[in-house]
Structure 1
Amino acid sequence: MAKRLIPCLNRVLIEKIIPPSKTSAGILLPESTSKLNSGKVVAVGPGHHDREGKLIPVSVKEGDTVLLPEYGGTEVKLDDKEYHLFRDDDILGTLHE
């Protein structure tokens, strides 16, 4: 049975995107080729309440590709997969093609 984590408040569960270290032809790529720290949003919390009690929703949604800070987040392991929990405020932006 697979576990599913639903983040609390304004937290976001991210699966980091790891750039390939080899091309499809088997050529090894140097680590410095693509150092963009990005991830895919797996789950989001409901948001947090302001001082007046109004709910402020999270600014990203499941499936978004986001730009992450170099450091931060909390590492979480579920069913042998690594994820990271970030606060909505810590996410730098969304990436679009």
Structure 2
Amino acid sequence: MARRLIPSLNRILVEKIVPPSKTNAGILLPEKTSKLNSGKVVAVGPGSWDKDGKLIPVTVKEGDTVLLPEYGGIEVNLGDKGYHLYRDEDILGTLHD
């Protein structure tokens, strides 16, 4: 049975995007000095409440590609896959093509 994690409050479950280390032809690519730390949003929580009891929804949605901080997040393993859990305010932005 596969497990599914629904984040609580304003947390976001992200699968980090790992850039390829080889081309399709098998050529090894050197590690770039400035890596883009990005991930795909897998699941989001409902949001958090302000002091007046109003729900503040998270700013991203499932499927978004987001820019992540260099450090932070909580590593979560579900089955054989690894994910990271961040708070909404830790996400640096949304990436668009």
Distance across 2 between alignment mates of 1:30 and 1:89: 33
Distance across 1 between alignment mates of 2:27 and 2:65: 27
Secondary structure in structure 2 of the residue aligned to 1:89:
helix
Larger mean Cα displacement after TM superposition, 49-58 or 32-41: 32-41
In the other structure, the counterpart of 1:76 is: 76
User: What is the correspondence of 1:1-97 to structure 2 with a 5 Å cutoff?
Assistant: 1-32=1-32, 35-97=35-97
Percent identity, aligned pairs only, is: 80
Measure how far apart 1:59 and its partner are. Answer: 0.2
CA RMSD of aligned residues (A): 0.9
Q: Which runs of 5+ in 2 are unaligned?
A: none
Runs of 4+ in 1 over 2 A off after TM superposition: none
Corresponding residue pairs, total? 97
Q: Which runs of 5+ in 1 are unaligned?
A: none
Secondary structure in structure 2 of the residue aligned to 1:70:
coil
